[in-house]
Amino acid sequence: MIQKITSININRFVNNDVSELQQSNRSPIYGYQHLSAMTLEQAVKEIIPLVSGLADYVAQAKQNCNRKSHLITWDESAAIYLYSMQTRLPFRQQMLQRH
């Protein structure tokens, strides 16, 4: 039994052919640069019912994030802040538990 499990674990991340490897290496955000930018509120609109207090967290993130950056937008800064902010249950953990 142990030997069988070990062999499954060893082959778990093995690609069987080149096309499978190429497919797995595609960028997960391919085409992103062609999409129009949206506000953080628009970006989270569909998941607000799934994450308790999300609308309040978004407002707090927009209020407390770094607005002085010339490299990223206010919404991008707030998104980073939201992802990393401490809540009762961290935001990223709540999202990961949903998927």
Give residue for tokens 């499954």. 8
Give the predicted TM-score (pTM) of the model: 0.60
Convert the pLDDT of each residue in 2-44 to its tens digit. 555 545 555 555 556 666 656 665 676 777 778 888 999 999 9
Strand spans (E) along 20-92? none
Convert the pLDDT of each residue in 51-86 to its tens digit. 888 999 999 999 999 989 899 999 999 999 998 887
How many C-beta atoms surround the C-beta of residue 50 within 10 A? 13
**Helices 74-84 + 54-64 axis angle, to 10:** 120
Residues 92 and 80: their CA atoms lie apart, in Å, by 11
